[in-house]
Amino acid sequence: MLGRYFPILEWGRTYNRSVLTNDMMAAVIVTIMLIPQSLAYALLAGLPPVVGLYASILPLVAYAIFGTSRTLAVGPVAVVSLMTASAAGAVAAQGSAEYLEAAITLAAISGVMLAILGFLRLGFLANLLSHPVISGFITASGILIATSQLKHVLGIKAGGDNWPAMLGSLASNIADINIWTLMVGVPVTLFLFWVRKGAKPALMALGLKSRAADMTAKAGPVVAVALTIIAVMVFGLEAKGVNIVGAIPQGLPPFALPSTDMSLIEKLWVPALLISIIGFVESVSVAQTLAAKRRQRIAPDQELIGLGASNIASAFSGGYPVTGGFARSVVNFDAGAETPAAGAYTAVGIALASLFLTPLLFNLPIATLAATIIVAVLSLVDLKTPGQLWRYSKADFAAHVATIGITLLAGVEMGVIAGVGVGLLLYLWRASRPHAAIVGRVPETEHFRNVERHSVFTVPHVLSIRIDESLTYLNARWLEEYVLERVAERPQLRHVILMCSAVNEIDASGLESLEAINHRLGDGGIGLHLSEVKGPVTDRLKRTHFLEELNGNLYLSQDRAFADLMKDTGEPAPPVDHYLARGMI
């Protein structure tokens, strides 16, 4: 029981020096990557940069204790940072104490929600967000985030809560570009783009091995930070209008208390719920992908508890909402991390940076942090998915594009809500119009296939309909209309067989429709028969009067039903040549 809620007790039993070495190496690499990212994402969330460091210490320790992924790296991420800025900005002004309090409270509410969902084993609720919706939301968020950071690269003032407002604000202030800020921001952005793709081949050309080159390339953002700090100091760029981070408090995270003001909690609980769902889906997707590569297992419900504990730890240490990050987790995986202890060691590295390195970041240009964000989030923008969805499923394409459009035009919260709404509407629409097919026997076999797809054998007085969905209140009336319409088209009909091999459940509404079909067909002298009904479904039907009132039979197989009813014409069955001549085969 303890191992279930404390996964550290499971992997901790086999922890040894070799695993320690691998975890420590991964922690060093992730720490180097996480320091500039934490500062940048705090900036994106509208918070002081040091808050990003605070959110990267205790949350990692909490996840190491409660999380089930061996390689997931928890901390601030771009999408959650943007959602935090949107939620906190709705209740307080950026830069105010109330704004920071809102961000801390948001982390606490999100953490409690995640933990409760985990204890109640409600991880399946994340399935409300389909892949097209998640993909569309992340793509739109990436565009919004990148656009919001252009002002820091250009050295101008701009704002806006949606894409048109951001673009309009940038356009109206474009004449105020600070050339010195531009000379910092553009080269750093280009350098970081090059680091992602070109640094590793260049380092390998210099003689480094593949893994060493890859790990060295990951330190690209740190190099950009160091060089731009030196540039500010050497050329006096602050006096020329280049905005810098300034003084960052030195020391470990303070003890913080989330607000207990119910009016504030009422304003934040919906955004907190959305942050929880998005963060959980993103985190679990990354964790499961990496776990599959090592044939490991992720427990989604325990992941909820782990992420909940991380967010609660973030709140009480002055941080803001966190989740598992894709880029950091991949680096952690590639660096050889074997257990969640690598995250705890990373927390130690961030804590040491908070104690000793923050004075060195005084002259760090904000343009450098903005460039770090832009390069990171543009990798989230997926331009291939819309075309793939258009070819595969027009309905999923509509959900994807609608989520992108609404997120860009109305903001992140409305984007998530609309995405869930569109996904549920599409599900209900599909469920209310299940697939059903008229089937016939494939010659010289016992198989039955769709008459519109295969050359099959049928007879005029027997209609076989295969139902490919469970019968529920969503589709019961549709089935009733479908069957009666097909019957009306066939004046010679004597028997209808409902092939139920794909029917896993028949609820009360479905049963009522079957009773109505049975009654209508019986009044017309037509028998209703069921074939291949699954055991659990049959057991439920036996608890009703339906089988007693059925004016036909219940058959074990479709082949047996067709063979019996084909002969019930009052005349000998014609030879196969008879049907061949009439194009029935």
Sign of the dihedral defined by the CA atoms of residues 104, 105, 107, 111, in that order: positive
Q: For the chain, how many helices (H) and strands (E)?
A: 27, 8
Mean pLDDT of 253-260: 93
Query: Angle at Cα 83 formed by Cα 396 and Cα 319, nearest 5°?
Result: 140
Predicted local distance difference test score (pLDDT) of residue 572: 43
Band the pLDDT of 582: cuts 50, 70, 90: very low
pLDDT digits (tens, 9 = 90+) for 16-74: 999 999 999 899 988 988 889 899 999 999 999 999 999 999 999 999 999 999 999 99
Query: Angle at Cα 430 formed by Cα 425 and Cα 435, nearest 5°?
Result: 175
Greatest C-alpha distance within the chain: 104
| Nearest by Cα to 220 from 42, 36, 359, 374 | 36
Mean pLDDT of 419-437: 83
Q: How many CB atoms lie within 10 A of CB 413?
A: 18
Cβ(185)–Cβ(204) below 8 Å: no
Between 127-141, 232-246, 292-306, 527-541, the lowest mean confidence (pLDDT) is in 127-141
Predicted local distance difference test score (pLDDT) of residue 126: 67
For residue 569, pLDDT beyond 60? no
How far the first Cα of the chain sits from its last, in Å, is: 62
Distance CA 534, CA 540 (A): 10
Amino acid (one-letter) located at 65? I
Task: State percent of the chain over pLDDT 90.
Answer: 62
Which pair of tokens denotes residue 411? 């903001």
Mean pLDDT of 468-476: 90
Distance CA 399, CA 157 (A): 34
Q: State pTM to two decimals.
A: 0.80
Between 11-20, 140-149, 344-353, 408-417, the lowest mean confidence (pLDDT) is in 408-417
| Nearest by Cα to 283 from 321, 337, 339, 338 | 321
pLDDT digits (tens, 9 = 90+) for 297-340: 888 899 999 999 999 999 999 999 999 988 888 888 888 889 99
